[in-house]
Amino acid sequence: RNGDGRAVLRSSVREFLCSEAMHYLGIPTSRAASLVVSDDDVWRDQFYNGNIKKERGAIVLRLAKSWFRIGSLEILAHSGELDLLRRLLDFIIQEHFPSIAMNDSNRYLEFFSTAVSETANLISLWMSVGFAHGVCNTDNFSLLSITIDYGPFGFMDSYDPNFVPNTSDDERRYKIGNQASVGLFNLSKLLQALKPLLDPRQKQLASQILKGYGEHYYSRFTELFKTKLGLLGENENDNYLIAFLLKVSLLC
């Protein structure tokens, strides 16, 4: 699309409706506040078949508690701006993580632990409704674990772990079946950004916290799918049944 950074009306309407749908599905997300149609002409190849057409441009105003994302910390750590990294992280914790005491020497560790568990919860919720984000890089991953980007997203019509809503993702890097793994990758990048602010003991503990991500995700994913199936209590066959039904859905 020649990197013009513009949106067209059809995709803007879709973005507006999806973010509101996600909110009412109980999934942490930014909200759509307004949609303004532009007089600017935008040229797009809607079906990527070489047929470029002129479309109306549009702007969606979205609201969120914060737009800070993993990339916001990553870039500061990468450039060695550690004082600014510390100041920004303290601001984020003070504004958005009231359960973490600012005088706690382990506050960055507590922040990371929260990010790990909440990221696992968010992606589990995405999977429970068949939502594929499309571009799950660190610059589109919220530090507050909310859905902040609605670029090339999509919902599966039928279960397919290889479903990709992004037509430019030729390698299927962000296929829906990879979302949990991509979440782990992004959290590892977050830990890498935090390491300059951690002492050796905290680094070791943070690595252990990151290892617990899979358990967090699996537990929440199972809980959500058991609710969908109306399974009550605990049964050792519950996980087998969920996996079996997903496999049957794939074959169908």
Give domain status of residue 241, yes or no: no
In one letter, which amino acid is 161? P
Cβ 161 vs Cβ 177: under 8 Å:
yes
Sheet with 31-44: list strands edge to edge: 7-8, 53-63, 31-44
From 47, 63, 79, the end of a domain falls on 63
DSSP 8-state assignment for residue 138: G
Distance CA 198, CA 91 (A): 17
**Pair (40, 116) in one structural domain:** no
**Pair (83, 117) in one structural domain:** yes
Give domain status of residue 244, yes or no: no
Give domain status of residue 246, yes or no: no
Domain holding 155, by residue range, is 70-227
Give the per-residue pLDDT at 219.
Answer: 94
**Pair (138, 221) in one structural domain:** yes
**Pair (59, 111) in one structural domain:** no
Structurally, how many domains does the chain consist of?
Answer: 2
pTM above the 0.85 mark? yes
Give domain status of residue 240, yes or no: no
- Catalytic positions are 139
Instruction: Quickly tell me which residue has 């513009």 as its tokens.
Output: 6
- Give me 72's structure tokens: 């916001």
Distance CA 78, CA 209 (A): 22
Distance CA 97, CA 106 (A): 13
Decide: residue 4, CB within 10 A, 0-12 exposed, 13-18 middle, 19+ buried. exposed
Give domain status of residue 58, yes or no: yes
- Please report, in tens digits, the pLDDT of each residue of the chain (252 residues total): 456 888 999 999 999 999 999 999 999 999 999 999 998 889 888 877 888 999 999 999 999 999 999 999 999 999 999 999 999 999 999 999 999 999 999 999 999 999 999 999 999 999 999 999 999 999 999 999 999 988 889 999 888 999 998 877 888 889 999 999 999 999 999 999 999 999 999 999 999 999 999 999 999 999 999 999 999 888 889 989 998 888 887 766
**Pair (42, 150) in one structural domain:** no
**Pair (50, 115) in one structural domain:** no
**Pair (39, 87) in one structural domain:** no
As beta bridge partners, residue 12 has none
Give the per-residue pLDDT at 129.
Answer: 95
Helix (H) or strand (E) holding 43: strand 31-44
Give domain status of residue 146, yes or no: yes
Q: Show Cβ contacts of residue 223 under 8 Å, excluding neighbours closer than 6 positions.
A: none
Distance CA 143, CA 206 (A): 16
Cβ 207 vs Cβ 113: under 8 Å:
no
- Give me 14's structure tokens: 């879709």
Taking CA 47 as the corner, what is the angle to CA 46 and CA 48, rounded to the nearest 5 degrees? 95
Decide: residue 225, CB within 10 A, 0-12 exposed, 13-18 middle, 19+ buried. buried
Bridge-based pairing of strands 7-8 and 53-63 is antiparallel
Give domain status of residue 204, yes or no: yes
